[in-house]
Amino acid sequence: MAKDHQSVWEGDDTLSRPATPGDKLFDKLFQGLTFTFTLATILLLAYILYEIFGKAMPAIRKLGFSYLYSTTWDVNAHTFGILPEIWGTLYSSLLALLLGGFFGITIAIFLTQDFLPHRMQVLLKNIIELLAAIPSVVYGLWGIYVLIPLIRPLADYLHAHFGWIPFFSTSLSGPGMFPAALVLAIMILPTVAAISQDALLAIPHKTKEAAYGMGTTRWEAILRVFLPTASGGIFGALVLGFGRALGETMALAMLIGNSNKISLSVFSPADTLAALLALNFPEASDYEISVLMYAAVTLLLITLLVNIAGAVIIAKTGSGIKR
């Protein structure tokens, strides 16, 4: 037994030996490459911001903050306002987050808490992750030719019987907020599900043993122990999914209706900042490009504020869990 012990320690000499000059050189090269790529990323981001703000500056000087709360977009009259687009961006993203977040977290629980055999879990996980590989334009076409005809009877029923509720005050005549939000929810679902799974799988096994040792049922352990413990990672998944929803372009441009108006109805057509940029850039004049760049700056700031707020909440949640 002593010989076996000795041979194990002798075999670990490579782990305990001092660093060679080659090891030190490799460490310095790796640190230099890491620093170089980090600096290059920061410089690239700074250059992108410089270009966007530079091109938007003429519109910012001329339109000021009225651009953010005006509701008129008239190219011929040179009157521009993006409040309906800001509303549509936030409204569609929040609806998508409610749907995609709920089902994403539910799927993560379903795939990590031994509800299925291991092989079935792996198969379903791969299928869900494949949703992220489908091009946005394919989602848009599927929404137009399959989803909208499929949900139109439900939309007509809700409008006919519950039209007094602001959310159902209009009918679904074609593209609108609800089909756009549904497709957007499907698009962010793989992100939310994958990161939530990682958060749930990272829970220490001793925590699970302690929860079941206290006599909890499976669902009591999931809802009262596992989800609160993994709340930091799950909230991070929701923030990333919300950020993805804010910047989605092609599918929303095809499905949301591109209507410059504000409405609470989920069946009403609307517009988003990303769709506005995608649809108006090809035919924009020099000044219109500056106006659209102003919209891009607005979208960038909204995304930045969402990420900062998410990071702060995650940090507070994480510190609370550690204590």
DSSP string, 241-295: HHHHHHH--HHHHHHSB------S-TTS-B--HHHHHHHHSTT--HHHHHHHHHH
In a domain, 50, yes or no: no
Average pLDDT of span 132-138: 86
Report the pLDDT value the prediction gives residue 98, as an integer from 0 to 100. 93
User: Is residue 2 scored above 80 in pLDDT?
Assistant: no
In a domain, 124, yes or no: yes
Report the pLDDT value the prediction gives residue 96, as an integer from 0 to 100. 92
**Phi, psi torsion values for 15, nearest 5 degrees:** -85, -30
- Nearest Cα residue to 92 out of 217, 184, 227: 184
In a domain, 157, yes or no: yes
**Torsion angle, CA of 241/280/67/89, rounded to 10 degrees?**
-20
User: Is residue 64 scored above 80 in pLDDT?
Assistant: yes
Q: Provide the strand spans (E) within the chain.
A: none
Of the pLDDT bands very low, low, confident and very high (cuts 50, 70, 90), residue 16 is low
**Phi, psi torsion values for 184, nearest 5 degrees:** -65, -35
User: Is residue 9 scored above 60 in pLDDT?
Assistant: no
CB 285, CB 218: distance < 8 Å: no
Range of the domain at 252: 64-322
In a domain, 3, yes or no: no
Mean pLDDT computed over every residue of the chain:
83
Token code pair at residue 288 = 């219109």
**Phi, psi torsion values for 214, nearest 5 degrees:** -80, 0
Of the pLDDT bands very low, low, confident and very high (cuts 50, 70, 90), residue 184 is very high
User: Is residue 296 scored above 50 in pLDDT?
Assistant: yes
Q: At what angle do helices 177-201 and 118-130 cross, to 10 degrees?
A: 140
User: Is residue 318 scored above 70 in pLDDT?
Assistant: no
In a domain, 147, yes or no: yes
In a domain, 40, yes or no: no
- Tally the domains of the chain: 1
User: Is residue 13 scored above 60 in pLDDT?
Assistant: no
User: Is residue 72 scored above 70 in pLDDT?
Assistant: yes
- Share of residues in the chain with pLDDT > 70 (%): 92
User: Is residue 124 scored above 80 in pLDDT?
Assistant: yes
- Share of residues in the chain with pLDDT > 90 (%): 12
Report the pLDDT value the prediction gives residue 185, as an integer from 0 to 100. 92
Among the residue ranges 28-32, 195-199, 278-282, 287-291, the one predicted with the least confidence is 278-282
User: Greater confidence, 271 or 20?
Assistant: 271
**H-helix segments, 163-204:** 177-201
Of the pLDDT bands very low, low, confident and very high (cuts 50, 70, 90), residue 322 is very low
User: Is residue 7 scored above 70 in pLDDT?
Assistant: no
Of the pLDDT bands very low, low, confident and very high (cuts 50, 70, 90), residue 317 is low
In a domain, 138, yes or no: yes
Average pLDDT of span 298-311: 85
User: Greater confidence, 21 or 171?
Assistant: 171
Q: What is the DSSP letter of 202?
A: T
Of the pLDDT bands very low, low, confident and very high (cuts 50, 70, 90), residue 97 is very high
CATH number at residue 164: 1.10.3720.10
Q: What is the pLDDT of residues 217-260, one digit of tens each?
A: 888 888 888 888 888 888 888 888 888 888 888 888 888 888 88
